[in-house]
Amino acid sequence: MRHVFVTRRIPRAGMEILESEGVSVEVGQEREDAGVPREKLLKETRRSRVLLSLLTEAVDREVLGENPRLQGVANMAVGFDNVDVAAATELGIPVSNTPGVLTDTTADFTWALLLAVARRVTEGDRYARDGRFRLWGPNLLVGGDVSPGGSGRRKVLGIVGFGRIGSAVARRARGFDMDVRVHTRGGRERLGDAQGVRWAEWEELLEESDFISLHLPLTPETRHLVGEPELRRMKETACLVNTARGPVVDEAALVRALREGWIGGAGLDVYEAEPELAPGLAKLDNVVLAPHIASASRDTRDRMATMAATNALHHLRGEPAPNPVNPEVYETEAWHHRRSLAEG
């Protein structure tokens, strides 16, 4: 049984890779606006060798435990907080992701949000569309500079997390002549010999940044990393950008911060209880909201799909996948056992 369960429709490029290998593929949900029902996820996992999942499915211990012949989970995302990786490793199931291919696309979108919130692009769009633009005015939709601009002061960009995406965001800041500060939970050695950035302690980054951009995974340690105390420490004009994972920010506290002017604005691509927005968030003008599309360029989504499909084929063949997130699984007895069950 060479069967892969693809939880929701993925770009054609990925499907073609699976089909060209003669693999039987079942897609759990063809609609774009609906997830795969939990019952279906469990049932299809029972009859599949590999699960090609998206970040919208909770691949938890229950799912992973459904099928002793399950050979792997290929998550089509760089983030994998939707998968219980510890349980997968314990059960001998390799999990893979799609790192690297979405770095530039996500960094570009981070900048799109940052610029949009600073320069009030979406407010301007609404204003023009609504027919309210009657006359140019010196006070109309005045925003904050990103580059030194009129004051000549270099703005401070605080980057939290300095992996592939955080570094790509930092590189783009050079074009805006910014002063880039970085804080990572791994400590200042994570900066390596990165050019043009400077380490900042957490409090210093919060207090001195004009813009703060989050680029770290969701883990128990990073949940609500930015809550009321942190938001209150930020400058009144500061803008927060989140293209990482929603729960890294306490969204209810963020709504209060934006409403009461503790900070100047926010650009969000991700939400704490996605796709729900915290009460009041959508009513605020000083926030730019996107529906989790930071990696959504045609080329990048094709690459993510082909990468996930390639990982899935490796899982299916019982070979180490190119992008495992739990490579230690290949050393375990549980993996060898699972592989022999699948071959048998």
Residues at the interface with ligand GLV (CB under 6 A):
55, 77-79, 102, 295
Whether 76 contacts 308, CB under 8 Å: yes
Q: What does the alpha-carbon distance between residue 217 and residue 55 come to, in Å, rounded to a whole number? A: 13
Can 171 be counted among the known catalytic residues?
no
32 vs 333 by CB, closer to ligand GLV: 32
Q: How far is the CB of 80 from ligand GLV (least distance, A)?
A: 8
77 vs 160 by CB, closer to ligand GLV: 77
**Three-state SS at 239:** strand
Q: How far is the CB of 268 from ligand GLV (least distance, A)?
A: 13
Q: At what angle do helices 103-118 and 121-129 cross, to 10 degrees?
A: 60
Can 245 be counted among the known catalytic residues?
yes
148 vs 163 by CB, closer to ligand GLV: 163
Can 259 be counted among the known catalytic residues?
no
Compute the C-alpha angle 265/194/299, nearest 5°.
65
Strands in 19-176 per DSSP E: 24-27, 50-53, 72-75, 95-96, 156-160
Q: How far is the CB of 217 from ligand GLV (least distance, A)?
A: 9
Catalytically annotated residue among 62, 66, 228, 274: 274
11 vs 79 by CB, closer to ligand GLV: 79
Catalytically annotated residue among 245, 301, 303, 339: 245
Q: How far is the CB of 269 from ligand GLV (least distance, A)?
A: 8
Q: How far is the CB of 255 from ligand GLV (least distance, A)?
A: 22
Q: What does the alpha-carbon distance between residue 68 and residue 105 come to, in Å, rounded to a whole number? A: 37
Distances in Å between the alpha carbon of 286 and those of 40, 118, 239, 240, 280? 40, 9, 9, 11, 12
Give the residues across from 240 on adjacent strands: 212, 266
Give the residue among 286, 223, 221 at the shortest CA–CA distance from 249: 223
Q: How far is the CB of 310 from ligand GLV (least distance, A)?
A: 16
77 vs 239 by CB, closer to ligand GLV: 77
Distances in Å between the alpha carbon of 240 and those of 124, 232, 256, 263, 344? 19, 12, 14, 8, 53
143 vs 166 by CB, closer to ligand GLV: 166
Catalytically annotated residue among 171, 190, 292, 317: 292
Active-site residues, by number, are: 245, 274, 292
